[in-house]
Amino acid sequence: MDFYCAELKLIVEVDGGYHDEKEIQSYDMKRDGYLTSLGLKIIRFKNEEVLNSCDEVVEKLKKELHPSF
């Protein structure tokens, strides 16, 4: 995991291109299933989103954390 906030039980993943490979996707799905079974929420972004559209990433995070906004 790239970022974790224990208070919110929130994991933020920033994924590179290798996450498009089937083997890695399978691993990610299993891992995500385990983490969500622990009551954790996972939000994924692609590297390009973070690098090229940081404002949009922040807005998506705000909406996830405060859906009423």
C-alpha distances (whole Å) from 54 to each of 1, 38, 60 are 19, 29, 10
Q: Which two tokens stand for residue 50?
A: 């973070």
Beta strands across the sheet bearing 41-46: 3-5, 10-15, 41-46
- Read off the pTM: 0.79
Instruction: Give me the residue label for tokens 């989103």.
Output: 49
Give one word for 27, left, alpha or beta, with left for phi > 0 and alpha for psi -120 to 50: alpha
pLDDT tens-digit map of 5-64: 999 899 999 987 666 778 888 888 999 999 999 999 999 999 999 999 999 999 999 988
> Domains of the chain: which residue ranges?
3-65
